[in-house]
Structure 1
């Protein structure tokens, strides 16, 4: 295959994969939004319950009843929002599954490595060929696999570095606490 034929082939794959990539992005954004709503609603419930408990200890009966009604209204609203958010996630998952089951998507898989059959990888393969970093698809596959391995290793190193920094901060805090305890025990 010539360079132009390979680029056309990869362009066709990108067009086939674009709807599934959009559906995946929509699903991920919906999950993220739902997670934010759920955590916000959880905090709202806790603050409302804390206010209700505070009212009980103040022993104010007239205002406590209204606070109890407010608490029930907040909990009902939160449950409705959580239900709506869950339904949105289910709809986004359904759309994504539908995109993966289309005839065009399944036909595009024929003769293409399953490992690289996603929009991001096909886009990167296209760039490797168009930038003359690889002359054949086989070279582009190998180069992409090498890049992905390096990215994975770099990610693992960054996680390890973050863990070491956290351990270092904890050690310093423990050392300061031990020093303060030693000074306090010496004063007695």
Structure 2
């Protein structure tokens, strides 16, 4: 980044070049996010299928039918359980492969010479696709007139977001503590009432 004052268009062009250098990494991170989300979905599906398979098996085992019919139904239930487990293994392997592929793409994107060179004259804290995009919007909306102004505004926004998140966490803890206090008070009243008898 040069020391002279850049015009609005020069700043936007400079930021656009930086954003383009981070696009591959952002795409790889998005693929990793999708792959992890897919794995969580597979785990939830597996739990549901397993529970239903076990319920069906318990119902079949508890049925009062002839031994041949019951044997066939039990074998069917065991086959169902086997299918559920096999499906989970297959889908889990596919999801893990997607995660590994996405992680490799992230590593490849971070090791690209153009990505590394682009980071050399840019603050590391702001060197990501979405942060650079946000900087561009600040300049486009005339909320920042220089690159340094854009960095300062973005940093102030990050600080405000952190403070809001901290306040929300504190509020959640206070609400939880308040709920537990009410439960404890109700339990104490109940205990006191029972010990009077």
Aligned length: 187
1:36 is matched with which residue? Answer: 41
CA root-mean-square deviation: 2.3
Counterpart CA distance in 1 for 2:25 and 2:162 is: 24
TM-score normalized by structure 1?
A: 0.85
Structure 1 partner of 2:181: 171
TM-score by length of 2: 0.82
Q: State the Cα deviation string for residues 115-162 of structure 1 (Å, max 9, x = none).
A: 110011111211222222222222221221122112111111111111
**3-state DSSP class of the match of 1:135?**
coil
63, 66, 70: which one aligns with 2:80: 70
Q: Distance between the aligned counterparts of 1:68 and 1:80, measured in 2?
A: 18
Instruction: Evaluate the alpha carbon distance shift between residue 181 and residue 47 of structure 1 in structure 2; reply closer, same or farther with a 3 A threshold.
Output: farther
* Shift in Å, 1:31: 0.7
Q: 2: distance between equivalents of 1:136 and 1:94?
A: 36
d(CA) in 2 for partners of 1:94, 1:56: 48
Structure 1 unmatched runs, 5+ = none
- Structure 2 counterpart of 1:128: 138
The 1:180/1:47 distance shift into structure 2, 3 A limit, reads farther
* CA pair 118-51 structure 1, distance change in 2 beyond 3 A: same
Aligned mates of 2:193, 2:74 — CA distance in 1 = 49
Could you tell me how far 1:55 is from its partner in structure 2? 4.3
Aligned mates of 1:143, 1:39 — CA distance in 2: 41
- How far is the alpha carbon of 1:85 from its aligned partner? 1.3
Q: 2:103 aligns with which of 93, 109, 112?
A: 93
Aligned to 1:152: 162
TM-fit CA distance, 1:165: 1.1
Q: How many Å apart are 1:59 and its aligned residue?
A: 7.5
Q: Any gaps of 5 or more consecutive residues in structure 2?
A: 1-5
Cα distance per residue 1:87-115 (max 9 Å; x no partner): 11112222222222223222211211111
Cα distance in 2 for residues equivalent to 1:67 and 1:108: 59
